[in-house]
Amino acid sequence: MILVSKPYMPNLDLINKYLSQVHERSWITNNGPLVRELTSVLQDYLGVKNLILTANGTLALQLAYKALRIKGEALTTPFTFVATASSMKWQGITPRFCDIEPDTLGLCPQAVKEAFTPNTKAIVPVHVYGNPCNVEKFEDLSEDMKVPVIYDASHTFSIKYKGQSILNRGDASTISFHATKLFHTVEGGGIVFKDDEVFERARLMLNFGLGENAEDIVAPGINAKMSEVHAAYGLSVLHSIDEILSERAEVLSYYHQGLNGVVELPRWREGATQNAAYAPIIMDSENQCLKVLESLKKVGVVARRYFYPSLHHTSEYKSDWNDSCKNVTGIANRVICLPLYPGLEKHDVANIVEAVKEGCQ
Ligand code: T4K
């Protein structure tokens, strides 16, 4: 059976090397040396500062909203994983959904502008599949409307836009290091803050809001810390990051060659690098999409419909339905993400391409 993704399993000797350090020190969480080391090497590797590592990408979003003191409503996309919006609800923020650009599948700045009301307190675009949103337009909107922009950049590991890490855009950008992501810490995440003061506030919030001497509580805190064991995994995965990125890029390029002219692909933002985080294809119709999924299943392949149904068509988020999300409605039921992970064999990719073609007939 070939599934949509498979976690990268780092070298066991390497993990053991890090874990034996953890055992020797008997220091297994609470801002330990490995978390500090991973923070530092990731800042260098990604080209960012003010990075905070968290227990997962969902808590990264919650902490970002909290540190930026967002209350009220936030404009976001319904074409995303539920965590973008569920993290808002956990912070008492109401998500309001706006339409996406039909070609890049990112949140549409014009739709956000039109949906803006005095209750809008933040804009939360998602760089879906790692494809950057129109960050210049969102920066203009943020300045004009005087609200922060928080990017859900969960899929963007290593993505650069115009030569800079995409994580440097917005007031904050969050990322997921879940097992299914190209770089992972089993469970984990991170936030990059633009403002030093907000960063410092978030650092305190991450650890219960405890002050430096632990005898005072100086912020409304939570426990969102990454542990040493997770950092050990992250450091081990990072060791192979070049190989991971190049193997993923190779698989994606086989798909693109094999399916050229057969399916549509999202338009990748000009000026942005690719990271082959996902392999989305857009079918002509929902019917064709279902036929392709069936044809893949026959050859033992389980592809996934990320992100179907779009959030505004789910029971929990229906009440927030913005009627004007026409592009999302027309696209979410036609997208399939094909299996993509390092080690996926060339002949398996060829079989997947053939099965997609078969389903399209
Ligand atoms: N924002 C966005 C835009 C996101 O996409 C996500 C997460 C978040 C925020 C929140 O970040 P985290 O809190 O998760 O850090 C998966 C992931 O669990 C989730 O992290 C991810 N997005 C989402 C897009 O995909 P599922 O429900 O598809 O996971 P699951 O368990 O079905 O796994 C997918 C495939 O991977 C399966 O076919 C089997 C394979 N797999 C999975 C695991 C966990 C393995 O082979 N081994 C494994 O250990 O959500």
Phi, psi of 213 (to 5 degrees): -90, 5
ipTM for the whole complex: 0.98
- Compute, in angstroms, the gap from residue 113 CA to the centroid of ligand 1: 31
Chosen domain end from 187, 222, 238: 238
Number of folded domains that form the chain = 2
Query: pLDDT tier at 318 (50, 70, 90 boundaries)?
Result: confident
In a domain, 84, yes or no: yes
54 and 135 in one domain? Answer: yes
- Compute, in angstroms, the gap from residue 344 CA to the centroid of ligand 1: 18
354 and 229 in one domain? Answer: no
How many other CB atoms are found less than 10 A from the CB of residue 207? 16
Residue 266 is classified by DSSP as: P
- Compute, in angstroms, the gap from residue 265 CA to the centroid of ligand 1: 22
275 and 130 in one domain? Answer: no
Minimal-distance CA residue to ligand 1 atom 19: 178
Chosen domain end from 238, 257, 277: 238
Q: Which atom of ligand 1 lies nearest, measured to the CA of 306?
A: 24
- Catalytically active residues are 181
Does position 197 have pLDDT exceeding 80, yes or no?
A: yes
In a domain, 325, yes or no: no
Q: Which atom of ligand 1 lies nearest, measured to the CA of 179?
A: 44
pLDDT of 35: 98
Q: Which domain holds residue 257?
A: 241-303+338-360
In a domain, 320, yes or no: no
Pocket of ligand 1 contains residue 337 by CB under 6 Å:
no
80 and 24 in one domain? Answer: yes
How many other CB atoms are found less than 10 A from the CB of residue 361? 7
299 and 209 in one domain? Answer: no
Cβ burial, residue 357 (10 Å; 0-12/13-18/19+): middle
Supply the CATH number for residue 193's domain: 3.40.640.10
Rounded Cα gap, residues 316 and 42, in angstroms: 36
67 and 28 in one domain? Answer: yes
Can you say how many angstroms the Cα of residue 275 is from the centroid of all Cα atoms in its chain?
A: 12
Tell me the DSSP string of 93-131: EEEEE--B-TTT-SBPHHHHHHH--TTEEEEE-B-GGG-
Pocket probe for ligand 1: among 2, 54, 81, the residue whose CB has the most ligand atoms within 8 Å is 81
233 and 180 in one domain? Answer: yes
CB 79 within 8 A of CB 100: yes
Pocket of ligand 1 contains residue 178 by CB under 6 Å:
yes
Token representation of residue 116: 């803006």
Supply the CATH number for residue 286's domain: 3.90.1150.10
Q: If we measure between CA atoms, which residue out of 222, 224, 340 comes closest to residue 275?
A: 340
Q: Which atom of ligand 1 lies nearest, measured to the CA of 307?
A: 24
105 and 204 in one domain? Answer: yes
- Compute, in angstroms, the gap from residue 185 CA to the centroid of ligand 1: 13
277 and 140 in one domain? Answer: no
b/e string for 24-63 if b means 16 or more Cβ within 10 A? Answer: eeeeebeebebbebbbeebbeebebebbbbbbbbbbbbbb
Query: pLDDT tier at 301 (50, 70, 90 boundaries)?
Result: very high
Rounded Cα gap, residues 56 and 316, in angstroms: 22
* Radius of gyration of the chain from its Cα atoms, rounded to whole angstroms: 21
Pocket of ligand 1 contains residue 5 by CB under 6 Å:
yes
Vertex 123 angle, CA 198 and 203, to 5°: 20
pLDDT of 176: 98
pLDDT of 320: 57
Query: Tens digit of pLDDT for each residue in 325-343?
Result: 999 999 999 999 999 999 9
Pocket of ligand 1 contains residue 156 by CB under 6 Å:
no
Query: Tens digit of pLDDT for each residue in 67-104?
Result: 999 999 999 999 999 999 999 999 999 999 999 999 99
Rounded Cα gap, residues 165 and 167, in angstroms: 5
Pocket of ligand 1 contains residue 126 by CB under 6 Å:
yes
Q: If we measure between CA atoms, which residue out of 194, 203, 138, 146 comes closest to residue 168?
A: 194
